[in-house]
Amino acid sequence: MAHLTVSVEYGIHCLLWLVGSGDKPLSSRDLAELQGISPSFVAKIFPKLERAGIVQASEGAGGGYVLAKAPERISFLDIVDAIEGEKPLFDCQDVRLRCQLFGARPPTWAAKGTCAVHAVMLRAEKAMRDALAEQTLGDVAQRFGRVAPAAFFGEVQDWVSDRVKDRPRRSDPTDGPSKPSPRRRRKSKRAGGT
């Protein structure tokens, strides 16, 4: 947990979108496009979240991911550990034992107990893990819900509905490419498209 990568940040944001989608599955492509990132990037994160029991996947044209449990039962620590693995904050190299004055055999007093530097890092790691364990996905979703205008959530639901409706149906290969939804056609016209 020495460095939390961007995978954790995007993973958490993706999960927040799943909180808002209720039981409507979102594909990794939907989640990526909603945030303007690569679908392959999101596709690498979600199998880890699924293995950890945070999300569950469904197959098929209307498939995607949903939360596997209530957001109030998913801590930030669960998410970090799922994506990054349970890595220590500090990898102690026992530098205290390498003093040239000790020669090949450090004295007992130098090797006794936990290294003082390592002890500080262990306390810091515990504090960070405790803080991450206290915050749940549900807590953060509520805070976000209080600041975002109500209309925004309607727009997101419309966008998600359009995405699900526009997905090609794999069961009928004669359908051809899907047509843009009326909402997408309006956006395209406003942006100068045809």
Residues 28-53 have pLDDT tens digits of 998 999 889 999 999 999 999 999 99
0.95 cut: is pTM over it? no
Strand (E) or helix (H) holding 141? helix 137-147
Q: How many Å is the Cα radius of gyration of the chain?
A: 24
- Among 110, 115, 17, 134, smallest CA distance to 67 is for 17
Q: Would you give the DSSP letter of residue 3?
A: S
User: What would the pLDDT profile of 82-115 be if each residue is shown by its tens digit?
Assistant: 999 888 878 888 888 888 888 888 888 888 888 8
CB atoms within 10 A of CB 120: 12
Q: For residue range 145-154, list pLDDT tens digits in order.
A: 788 888 888 8
112-129 average pLDDT score: 91
Integer CA distances (angstroms), 117 to 96, 150, 182, in order: 9, 49, 62
